[in-house]
Structure 1
């Protein structure tokens, strides 16, 4: 069930990445954030009830709430035109917790691909904190493109591979994800130095963050 949510997380990340680079209007992005946010709250609630007290299953489901609450926060913020500092500082909290979930996936459940994916998400949330919480708007374009790439690499593609039974070779997959992330996100760094011309400046929109699985 969590994998179904992961697929739609790919969709909302894609839309919010386009929002950050100025291709989607903030209010137009709000409904999808609310839809996926609601899904990411209902899903872990069901999984926890069905876990029958199993600590491992409960822990796996608990992380999904981080993302569900964030999507709802983002959707409401976009519709109400709220200041972005709230979701920005919440993103710092989630980025730190994501490191813990990465460790759990590496050590406790030995799911190395998702251990790497949690590191991707920790990096993305850290960017959201800098852009939205600290208002470093020079990083908006960079963060937008990182979000778009992660929508496919950490969500949509893994979900489809898992659905079709092709999510195999975990060690090789984890290594490929790690190398890809380092190379691509370093290659995008020039975007962090690029500023819009004055007539192109737009208010920093509120993005969202990925959903959890293990």
Structure 2
């Protein structure tokens, strides 16, 4: 993924996480989803058209569509009110694809850091599947918090390192990233069980049902 595209993935994940925990209205978040989703569909299309059958370039661009279609789907849902089951099941496809791409990062690309990043994204999109595809509403806030945490961990921070030419990848960094991601998941699950501070438990339960 390009450094510029990755930077905006961090931005839209952060906004979507805030939406899931009830801090940003859906339509407000939907605008950025449409912008970033469009970018993540147009850019890989241009790359593929100019790839001259270079499989490495095509492989690198193909993963961008997984994000682009997700964000476009989210944006459209926010403005139309269509139910999210379709997006949930598409998220299962994204999660499975992310596992494959992450494995290839280890075995073919020799980039263990992005291998871990793709695995973390697989976990996140699987949570989206549980939330929207299977209707596990109890995971709404936990999914939101995990989205917020990993938006910076897997996208914003690596994007800035790539932009300034300081990105490095090795087994040690990959292990460190994996440990931090596991801690972030645990923290998200913990925070997801707690009602917002400005709500009583009964009010929080009602609010989650409207997300």
TM over 0.5: yes
Seen in structure 2, the aligned counterparts of structure 1 residues 90 and 13 have a Cα distance that, compared at 3 Å, is: same
* 1:47 to 2:51 alignment: no
Q: Secondary structure at the match of 2:34?
A: helix
Which residue does 1:59 correspond to in 2?
Answer: 59
Which residue does 1:105 correspond to in 2?
Answer: 105
Give the Cα–Cα distance (whole angstroms) in 2 for the partners of residues 34 and 61 of structure 1. Answer: 19
Which residue does 1:212 correspond to in 2?
Answer: none
Which residue does 1:27 correspond to in 2?
Answer: 27
Which residue does 2:88 correspond to in 1?
Answer: 88
Equivalences for residues 8-27 of structure 1 within 5 A: 8-27=8-27
Which residue does 1:3 correspond to in 2?
Answer: 3
Q: Deviations over 1:125-183 (max 9, x none)?
A: 00000111111111111110100011100111100011112212422221110111122
Q: Is the 8 A contact 1:20 1:204 kept in 2?
A: no
Shift in Å, 1:194: 3.9
Q: Deviations over 1:47-106 (max 9, x none)?
A: 112211011211111111111111111100011111011101110111011100001111
CA RMSD after TM alignment? 1.6
Match among 195, 199, 203 for residue 199 of structure 1 = 203
Q: Which moved more, 1:47-56 or 1:154-163?
A: 47-56
Taking structure 1 as the reference length, the TM-score comes to 0.90
Count of aligned pairs: 205
Seen in structure 2, the aligned counterparts of structure 1 residues 44 and 204 have a Cα distance that, compared at 3 Å, is: farther
Shift in Å, 1:192: 4.3
Which residue does 1:79 correspond to in 2?
Answer: 79
Seen in structure 2, the aligned counterparts of structure 1 residues 148 and 27 have a Cα distance that, compared at 3 Å, is: same
5+ residue gaps in structure 1? Answer: 206-214
Taking structure 2 as the reference length, the TM-score comes to 0.92
Which residue does 2:179 correspond to in 1?
Answer: 179
Q: Which moved more, 1:129-138 or 1:33-42?
A: 129-138
Q: Is the 8 A contact 1:2 1:43 kept in 2?
A: no
Consecutive aligned runs of 4 or more in structure 1 exceeding 4 Å deviation: none
Which residue does 1:189 correspond to in 2?
Answer: 189
Give the Cα–Cα distance (whole angstroms) in 1 for the partners of residues 210 and 127 of structure 2. Answer: 13
Shift in Å, 1:112: 0.7
